[in-house]
Amino acid sequence: MGYLETYTKWVKQLEEGNPLKKELIAIKDDAREIEERFYQELSFGTAGLRGKVGAGTNRMNIYTVGKATQGIANYIKTYGQEAMKRGVVIAHDPRHFSREFCELTAGILAANQIRAYTFMSLRPTPQLAYMVTRLHCIAGINITASHNPKEYNGYKVYWEDGCQVSSKIADAMTSCINEVDLFEDVLNYDYEKGVQEGKIKVLGAEYDDEYLKKVEAQAIHEGEELDLTIPLVYTPLNGCGAIPFRRMLEERGFTNYKIVPEQEQPDPDFTTVGYPNPEDPKAFALSETYAKEFGAELIMATDPDADRFAIEIRDHNGNYVPLNGNQTGYLLVNYILEGHKSAGTLPQKGAMVKSIVTSTLSTRIANAYGVEMFETLTGFKNICGRIPRLHEEGYTYLFGYEESVGYAACEEIRDKDGISAGMLIAEAAAYYRKQNKTLWDVLMEIYETYGYFAEDEPNIVLDGIAGAKRIQRMMSWFRSHTPKTVANIRVKDVIDYADGYEDLEPHNAIRVFLEDGSWFAIRPSGTEPKIKFYFYATADSKEAALQENKMIKNEIFELIQAVE
């Protein structure tokens, strides 16, 4: 069925007065908009669903969410009654329709005789991930678009191990979803009636307490080792983070912190933020104003579902400097290992995990402490999914992270966690302050000890059908025209992950290593319409590393952008 036929079917099927029908009628003369909404079904991958909210098969709405949920219910039923009784825990973020999609999901599961758990209100993604294993559920679902713009929403799925679903399970779920007719096959059950009849259980505050205990158990130093009067500023960017982050700071004893008031309460329009991604320094604009007034040494931010975490630190000139995900990772890797070594708790076979596009400087740090750094494909389904294998091989998991400001400190929370990352970085700042040092001092010491790295992670956004096709052409062209030298430095090695590499599954990514230790990688985003680049240059000084990084980036961008 072509996209115009699908559009016509939707218009006929939707009842009069349905807002989605009105939305579709309003675009009846806009062929391009109709095609964008109906040229494909919103794809269900290892990140679940993610897309703009609106009418259409390529949009997030009650029909596409309903179809996905019914398909997942059908998949769970293949595991039998025990899996159905174990049930599914569902959470949501503050975005438009998140609560409605959450209740719809719970109702569909209940109608399929699958136990459903929900929360009293919005909760962080890492808490949802923890609750999957805590409640012994067969699966978990979080209604969230993470850090995407306000127009988006999403549907993230976890399996019984507390990790986001693997490619194998995602493919099996996709097959079940594809068999569902979104207008005829979806069962449903009234949410409130489901709660009253006990088919849907709303989790109480005691489960919030359990999650925070797991977070706070990751502490490296406590009490007199810390200067708990350190001035801190935190922003949840109008998401889920305010309540758990505040509780964590208070329970750890921090006495001198400020939460940005305009960004403390949930706001689906992110009015004072715009693009709610803490990776983007512009998200810190309002925080910096308060930090200057408050004299803060550290500014912290979590994204709307509180799984990503980013910081700005004060340099020697008093300026607030945004750190990228790699740099925050250096601080955390160094702090955790330094703390374990000083306490005599560094395991004989310690292990950390990072993604293939994350800086190798952290590998140097880990190796200096006798800890092995393992590499996985991007995403915490891979990073945290490596934990069981590490245990089988006799390793002790210490930390996992990737450059896109995601950090996993607690092995029982099988996803990136902005609350535990915030606790550790605030603790590290308080620990070093007691020693008359700042996080800036420590970062400079890391570079001096392990080598100067310059990191840059630009991307090219290419929306729509034409954009997706151009990204494919860019990747194909680079594979067949990989340069022999870059910035006058010889290429030492090229790894193409398209057919898999060592024990890693196939992945659309290319990594190029240069003779001087610098390297870069290219891959399309799995959740956003962009092609992503990762440049890491190393040299004898920070200035030289920055210059080399710029030269490498300019040369590669010139090649890639010439591909039409």
Residues with catalytic roles: 146
Report the candidate in 276, 157, 279 with the shortest Cα–Cα distance to residue 532: 279
Integer Cα distance of 270 and 204 in angstroms? 28
For 326, the 3-state DSSP assignment is: helix
The one-character DSSP state at 382 is H
Which residues have C-beta within 8 Å of that of residue 118, sequence separation ≥ 6?
89, 90, 91, 102, 103, 106, 200, 201, 202, 203
Angle, helix 439-450 to helix 361-368, in steps of 10 degrees:
80
Given a contact cutoff of 8 angstroms between Cβ atoms, the answer to whether 273 and 237 are in contact is yes
Which residues have C-beta within 8 Å of that of residue 50, sequence separation ≥ 6?
42, 60, 145, 146, 148, 152, 153, 154, 155, 527
Integer Cα distance of 180 and 69 in angstroms? 10
- HSE, CB side, 13 Å, CA atoms: give it for residue 295: 4
Integer Cα distance of 356 and 377 in angstroms? 6
Integer Cα distance of 362 and 326 in angstroms? 8
- Judged on CB neighbours under 10 Å (0-12, 13-18, 19+), 5 is exposed
- Scan for tokens 């955790």, then name that residue: 336
Integer Cα distance of 363 and 534 in angstroms? 16
Residue 396 forms beta bridges with which residues?
A: 350
Q: Tokens in use for 105?
A: 């999901």
Alpha helices, DSSP H only, in 135-264?
A: 167-178, 191-196, 205-216, 242-252
